[in-house]
Amino acid sequence: MLPRLRPLSLLHHYKSSLTTTHLTQIHSQLISNGLTHSPSILARLIERYCASSPPHAHLITTHFYNHNNEPNPYLFNVLIRCTPPADSITVFANWVSKQTLKFDDFTYIFVLGACARRAKALREGLQIHCRVIKHGCLSNVMLQTTLIHFYVKTDACRFARKVFDEMPVRTRTAATWNSLIAGYCARKDHARDGLLLFVDMLTGDYGVKANDTTLVCVLSAVARLGYLETGVGIHACIEKTIGGVESDVYIGTGLVDMYAKCGCLDAGLNLFMRMRHKNVHTWTAMVSGLAVNGKGKRALKLFNDMIDSGISPNSVTFTSLLLACSQAGLVKEGLSLFKIMKTKFCIVPLSHHYGCIVDLLARAGHLEDAFEFIVSEKVESDEVLWRSLLHACRLHNDVVMGEKVAKILISMKPEFDVKGCDRNEDYVALSNMCASAGRWEEVAKVREMIIDKGIRSDPAVSAVFT
């Protein structure tokens, strides 16, 4: 039961605890008191409804514009901003077809933001971009920046760069530069372009300076590419412009991650120890760096220090730790980590966690245990796990287990697979297993199956450069 407060006070004070029932009661009070003609009050009500009952928010917006000759799209913008991305795009498309409301710059900003958050919304965003050009709204810097953000999120970096290049140089803000730099740096095939754009930002007279967001993005690109000299130069630039990084947890974490992934563990550890504030990402970056450099025992020790300092690990932390155990052959420790991940820290294992355990057991030659693990964890449908085990069987020359796993993989495939070349890998593996055991009759049968089922194998290509 809600306390006796005015409806407006309830909307202000109870931001997250209001249920749909409470909101309908407040809505009734607003109607009784004649307060539903105020756009600002309805905007707050729409925000609350979007969190618990989006259809109510849609009805309020439609009712307002149907019964009020109000050309201002303010309430519609609130609805677009607060609803889930897929709903925002659908609602926008429906109102476009009605042609009863003239949209403003904020409408396009919010709906493009929804397209950026929704996977595979490039087509819808392109259509919205066309409307923006048609209605002459492209001079808005916020809208242009949102367009860049949308394109990089939908893997259309060339469109993002086109929007960026067409902007007047002096209108670009730090957010504009950061949107494109972050989009480039997040992809390995474009990371170098991000670094070049960052250099252009520093050396050009654009009136914009790099901020924390810029530096974290370029450091991630350096770590991804392994450009240690570039990373050292960026570190020097940071020290010169910002000062010591020991008190900035985000830049410090970026530098630790960069040094560790570039193989400069001593510099990374030195910086890590000097940092005054460390969060879970800082600890995970250092653990991951030790793992990829083959320092499994040191990674486990650092994990214990992390727990002692009161920081709870996340899913990525355990991925790095399991990888470290796998590379160092620490079977007992890896299985223990997998267990406490689920029981103590309540982290649901993902496919790569299962993959790390299968790899851990397989590397150590415990192929039967790896098989039982896949079955007991009920992840038999994951082809990657079985294929990883099959590869281990070939390395350890365990023909019996390899034949068993190969047949499981083949049975998981549909009878008629258009992508025949994908199926060929498992048949060839089975054929090789039988050949290793001298079972030539079975080799012939497998080869006949490949021909009968029309499974195509793409020929390998090799080249010699002189």
382-411 average pLDDT score: 83
Q: Residue 406 above 60 pLDDT?
A: yes
Mean pLDDT, residues 23-37 = 71
3-state secondary structure the chain: CCCCCCHHHHHHHCCCCCCHHHHHHHHHHHHHCCCCCCHHHHHHHHHHHHHHCHHHHHHHHHHHHHHCCCCCCHHHHHHHHHCCHHHHHHHHHHHHHHCCCCCCHHHHHHHHHHHHHCCCCHHHHHHHHHHHHHCCCCCCHHHHHHHHHHHHHCCCHHHHHHHHHHCCHHHCCHHHHHHHHHHHHCCCCCHHHHHHHHHHHHHCCCCCCCCHHHHHHHHHHHHHHCCHHHHHHHHHHHHHHCCCCCCCHHHHHHHHHHHHHCCCHHHHHHHHHHCCCCCHHHHHHHHHHHHHCCCHHHHHHHHHHHHHCCCCCCHHHHHHHHHHHHHHCCHHHHHHHHHHHHHCCCCCCCHHHHHHHHHHHHHCCCHHHHHHHHHHCCCCCCHHHHHHHHHHHHHCCCHHHHHHHHHHHHHHCCCCCCCHHHHHHHHHHHHHHHHHCCCHHHHHHHHHHHHHCCCCCCCCCCCCCC
For the chain, what percent of residues have pLDDT higher than 90? 44
Query: Which pLDDT score, from 0 to 100, does residue 7 have?
Result: 53
Sign of the alpha-carbon dihedral angle for 287, 289, 292, 295: negative
Kindly tell me if the per-residue pLDDT of 456 is higher than 80: no
- CA-based nearest residue to 194, from 148, 142, 239: 148
123-151 residue pLDDT tens: 999 999 999 998 888 889 999 999 999 99
The whole-number pLDDT of residue 421 equals 43
What's the mean pLDDT in 337-342?
94
Q: How confident is the model at residue 387 (pLDDT cuts 50, 70, 90)?
A: confident
pTM (two decimals): 0.76
Q: Greater confidence, 258 or 66?
A: 258
* Predicted confidence (pLDDT) per residue in 5-14, tens digit: 455 555 555 5
CA dihedral sign of residues 235, 238, 239, 243: negative
The pLDDT, as a whole number, for residue 54 is: 76
Q: Express each pLDDT in 266-325 by its tens digit.
A: 999 999 999 988 999 999 999 999 988 888 899 999 999 999 999 999 999 999 999 999
pLDDT category at 258 given cuts 50, 70, 90 is very high
pLDDT at 373: 92
Tens-place pLDDT, residues 236-252: 888 887 777 777 899 99
pLDDT digits (tens, 9 = 90+) for 74-101: 889 999 998 889 889 998 998 888 877 8
In this prediction, residue 89 carries a pLDDT of: 92
**Which is more confidently placed, 421 or 367?**
367
At residue 168, does pLDDT exceed 60? yes
Residues 425-436, mean pLDDT to the nearest whole number: 71
Instruction: Work out the mean pLDDT of the chain and round it to a whole number.
Output: 83
Which tens digits make up the pLDDT trace of 176-200? 999 999 999 988 889 999 999 999 9
